[in-house]
């Protein structure tokens, strides 16, 4: 039986969702947070690197903006980058007001530097436990303020009518439930865990993109997957992220011959953009046939490493390693979904009443490659803008149109190579993405992935989903198909998308690529 409407349903409990909920409550709205797991479980809690804002001496929003534009490989939407960099200091003030315990030295907030940042502007909390401290602080505040939270609740369907979003269907352990939802915020996070090797927790499966697309929203830039260069690499061990800040402190990357190889690939060496470092490692591994390279921090004072990286240090200790004394085996893993549901600067999508922010959203802020530590700030800046739009009843405007839009059909035509084929399991999706739509791509592998994802999705999309708050495999297949289809279409290399058959950027592809699902 349908429940009565609330002012705002927020789907997701990472930094974006919780911040929107808190700000909406402060503005006199009645928000409801829905999360498919527990309130604490999200990508945010695993973020080690920190959060970026131009709050230090000699820095400015203008310089932060320039760094963001440069990192995005020619595809950053300038108004989005300007909004983030100019409003970031105010959002840091909000986090401090909520009680986030940022690290300080001599009474001032400590600032670190990461790859592709020209200044030290990365704030940390608990050293390399920034995401955990932010998530815990916001979660405690949500509980203390008495906000309505529904855990173990999966978004299954968004149901718009001619006027816009009207209802939503959610699935809990008790079954399905229909909610009246004239306005909702999609903050469901990314899709990194769809990949076989990933830094993301198991909840990061990207089904929010598929649900929004089935409701009529445009998705864009899905081919740009950011691979983090340095995750712990040992058979049987978790792919624990070794934060980029370790390289920011001066650590080097060595191959199995003990050679520091990054200077051969980029003038900034280990502080080059993430896509450059990940590809360099991939090329080294292919050249040497080794499973990993090594992070060398032995020349950095031990006390500094202990104070700056307690989380990394503790994990390595469980593996019998010491960051200050031994080489640490690392390799790239899928880390961040740059694209997502297309939205404007106020979080508005192509479905009236549906807002989106955080990793699931695509404003064009990150271009083809996200600048390190802009992701946590993205959830705050555009979350604040959503609350302003809802409170002020801002006129609804569709997102900017991409330069090119592809269409995916629910039913491939008869005789199409994707019209029939073997189903794919959850593990099958991960293996196929990793091997064919990974760091190094080409036409043959991408075409094969598209064909198999199309076939599996077409045959599974109407099947019954599992009971409880677990995404149906059809939605995982659809999100994977978006990634592969975008990568096949973009015949160039740019940012997080590298085609071995088109190894350079091409001027004709300096545009955003949209994908729309044709209605049934």
pLDDT in tens, 451-462: 999 999 988 754
The verdict on 408 and 325 lying in the same domain is: no
Q: Which of 301, 332, 363 represents a domain boundary (last residue)?
A: 332
451 is a domain residue:
yes
Domain that holds residue 424: 402-517
pLDDT at residue 416 is higher than 60: no
268 in any annotated domain: yes
CA-to-CA distance for 195 and 197, rounded, in angstroms?
Answer: 5
Give yes or no for a contact between 217 and 350, defined as CB atoms under 8 angstroms apart: yes
The token duo for 162 is 């001619």
Average pLDDT over residues 117-127: 91
CATH number at residue 411: 1.20.58.100
The residue among 315, 332, 349 that closes a domain is 332
Name the helix (H) or strand (E) containing 307. Answer: helix 302-308
Of the two residues 7 and 225, the one the predictor is more confident about is 225
Residue 88, domain member (yes or no): no
What pLDDT band is residue 2 in, cutting at 50, 70 and 90? very low
Strands (DSSP E) along 465-511, which ranges? none
Q: Are residues 246 and 326 in the same domain?
A: yes
Which pLDDT score is estimated for 468? 58
Residue 364 lies in a domain: no
Residues 427 and 325 in one domain: no
Q: Which of 113, 214, 274, 499 is catalytic?
A: 274
What is the Cα–Cα distance from 150 to 12, expressed in whole angstroms? 10
Question: Does 32 score more than 60 pLDDT?
Answer: yes
167 belongs to the catalytic site: no
pLDDT interval class at 25 (50, 70, 90): very high
Looking at the chain, the whole-number percentage of residues with pLDDT higher than 90 is 81
Q: What is the pLDDT of residue 421?
A: 60
pLDDT at 412: 53
What pLDDT shows up at residue 413? 47
Quote the CA–CA distance of 122 and 111 in Å, as a whole number.
5
> Average pLDDT in the 21-49 region?
89
Question: What does pLDDT average to over the chain?
Answer: 92
Is 51 inside any structural domain?
no
CA gap 248, 114 in Å, rounded: 5
pTM of the model: 0.93
Residue 418 confidence (pLDDT) above 50 = no
Residues 6 or more apart whose Cβ sits within 8 Å of residue 167: 2, 159, 178, 179, 180, 181
At 463, the pLDDT band (50, 70, 90 cuts) reads very low
Range in 28-37, 114-123, 195-204 the model is least confident about: 114-123
Backbone angles phi, psi at 92, to 5 degrees: -65, -40
**Mean pLDDT of the region 138-159:** 96
Q: How far apart are CA 117 and CA 64, in angstroms?
A: 8
Give the end of a domain, one of 332, 349, 369: 332
Residue 224 resides in a domain? no
pLDDT band at 420, cuts 50/70/90? low
Residue 39 has pLDDT above 90, yes or no: no
What CATH number is attached to the domain comprising 252?
Answer: 3.90.700.10
6 has a pLDDT exceeding 80: no
Q: Mean pLDDT, to the nearest integer, of 426-452?
A: 97
pLDDT (tens digit per residue) in 234-266? 999 999 999 888 998 999 999 999 999 999 999
- pLDDT score recorded for residue 462: 45
Once rounded to an integer, what is the mean pLDDT over residues 224-229?
A: 95
Residue with tokens 């108004």: 79
- State the pLDDT at residue 115: 76
Number of domains composing the chain: 2
Q: Is residue 82 part of a domain?
A: no
Taking residues 143-162, what's their average pLDDT? 95
The C-alpha angle 401, 403, 406, rounded to 5 degrees, equals 90
48 CB-near residues (< 8 Å, 6+ apart): 128, 129, 130, 131, 241, 243, 245, 311, 312
In a domain, 11, yes or no: no
């Amino acid at each position: 039986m349908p429940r009565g409407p609330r002012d705002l349903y927020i789907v997701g409990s990472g930094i974006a969702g919780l911040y929107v909920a808190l700000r909406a409550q402060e503005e006199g709205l009645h928000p409801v947070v829905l999360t498919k797991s527990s309130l604490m479980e999200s990508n945010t809690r695993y973020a080690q690197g920190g959060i970026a804002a131009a709050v230090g001496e000699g820095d400015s929003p203008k310089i932060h903006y320039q760094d963001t534009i440069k990192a995005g490989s020619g595809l950053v939407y300038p108004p989005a980058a300007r909004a983030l960099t100019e409003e970031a200091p105010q959002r840091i003030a909000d986090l401090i007001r909520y009680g986030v315990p940022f690290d300080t030295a001599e009474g001032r907030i400590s600032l670190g530097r990461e790859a592709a940042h020209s200044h030290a502007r990365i704030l940390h909390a608990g050293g390399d436990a920034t995401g955990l401290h932010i998530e815990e602080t916001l979660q405690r505040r949500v509980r203390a303020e008495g906000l309505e939270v529904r855990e173990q609740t999966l978004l299954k369907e968004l149901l718009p009518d001619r006027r816009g979003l009207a209802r939503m269907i959610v699935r809990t352990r008790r079954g399905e439930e229909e909610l009246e939802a004239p306005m909702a915020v999609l903050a469901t996070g990314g899709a990194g865990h769809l990949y076989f090797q990933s830094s993301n927790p198991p909840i990061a499966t990207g089904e929010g993109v598929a649900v929004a697309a089935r409701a009529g929203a445009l998705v864009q830039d899905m081919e740009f997957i950011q691979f983090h260069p340095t995750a712990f690499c040992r058979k049987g061990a978790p792919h624990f992220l070794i934060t980029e800040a370790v390289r920011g402190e001066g650590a080097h990357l060595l191959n199995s011959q003990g050679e520091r190889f990054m200077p051969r690939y980029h003038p900034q060496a280990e502080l080059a953009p993430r896509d450059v470092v990940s590809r360099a490692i991939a090329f080294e591994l292919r050249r040497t046939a080794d499973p990993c390279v090594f992070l060398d921090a032995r020349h950095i004072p031990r006390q500094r490493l202990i104070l700056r990286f307690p989380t990394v240090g503790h994990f390595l200790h469980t593996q019998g390693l010491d960051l200050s004394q031994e080489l640490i085996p690392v390799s790239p893993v899928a880390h961040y979904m740059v694209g997502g549901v297309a939205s404007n600067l106020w979080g508005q999508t192509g479905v009236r009443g549906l807002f989106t922010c955080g990793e699931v959203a695509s404003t064009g802020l990150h271009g083809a490659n996200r600048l390190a530590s802009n992701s946590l700030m993205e959830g705050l800046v555009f979350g604040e803008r959503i609350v302003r739009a809802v409170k002020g009843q801002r006129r609804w405007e569709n997102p900017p149109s991409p330069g090119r839009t592809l269409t995916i059909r629910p039913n491939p035509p008869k005789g199409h190579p994707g019209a029939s084929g073997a189903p794919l399991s959850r593990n099958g999706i991960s293996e196929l993405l990793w091997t064919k739509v990974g760091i190094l791509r080409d036409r043959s592998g991408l075409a094969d992935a598209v064909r198999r994802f199309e076939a599996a999705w077409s045959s599974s999309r109407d099947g019954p989903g599992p009971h409880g708050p677990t995404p149906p495999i059809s939605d995982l297949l659809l999100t994977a198909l978006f990634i592969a289809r975008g990568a096949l279409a973009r015949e160039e290399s740019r940012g997080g998308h590298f085609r071995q058959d088109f190894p350079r950027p091409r001027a004709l592809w300096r545009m955003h690529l949209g994908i729309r699902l044709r209605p049934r």
